[in-house]
Amino acid sequence: MAKEIDMHKPKSTDDKKKSFKDQVKGTDAFAQAIKKHLKEYAQKDSLFKKKLLNKEKNFKDCITYIFNQVKASGCIGYEDEEIFKLARHYYDEDKIKVGDPVTGGEVIVNQQFTPSDEEIEKAKKKALDKVFEDERTRLTNKKKPIKTPEKKKECNEPKTLF
């Protein structure tokens, strides 16, 4: 049996206090694409799998390393394989300078992310709750029209066609 690869083990107890989502400043789809690639690559390459399981490495630092390399290059767009090579390089090198966390950027991913069944159910429940709340608000805030008696206009002027 293959050992499950867990690439996001935090280094310190301070990192454990933050959720993984807070630690990784990129989009979830970006992180998922990198993880998927690294796991698939590790299945094909047993030497890389050993490096991926290195206790001195973690996924948060991998993402930080990628962001810093992209920022330093000054380029805006990358091919998927270029980013995947940066991720593999982070795990391949024993001594690598990760750099400080990068903030203020935006990651755009060109790969389709397929949510899990659990994520789909959560999204459905959230949407349904919003519909119910909106309808409840609409019904409770509905203003009743004030009825006023209609006044008949009396006109003593003769009616003409011209």
DSSP 91-129: HH-SS----SPP-S------SPP---HHHHHHHHHHHHH
Cβ neighbors of 117 (< 8 A, separation 6 or more) are none
Provide Rg for the chain, Cα atoms: 29
Nearest 10 degrees: Cα torsion 74, 77, 81, 84: 60
Phi/psi of residue 102, each to 5°?
-95, 130
- A 10 A CB-CB count for 88 gives 20
Q: Is the dihedral of CA 58, 61, 67, 73 positive or negative?
A: negative
pLDDT tens digits for range 53-94: 888 899 999 998 998 998 888 887 888 899 999 999 999 998
pLDDT score recorded for residue 144: 61
The Cβ-side half-sphere exposure at 16, using a 13 Å CA radius, reads 4
How big is the chain, counted in residues? 162
pLDDT score recorded for residue 76: 79
First-last CA distance in the chain:
99
SS3 at position 21:
helix
pLDDT score recorded for residue 103: 74
Q: Delimit the domains of the chain by residue range.
A: 13-110
**The pLDDT of residue 20 is above 70:** no
Q: Is the pTM of this model over 0.75?
A: no
| Arithmetic mean of pLDDT over the chain | 77
pLDDT tens digits for range 4-19: 444 444 444 444 444 4
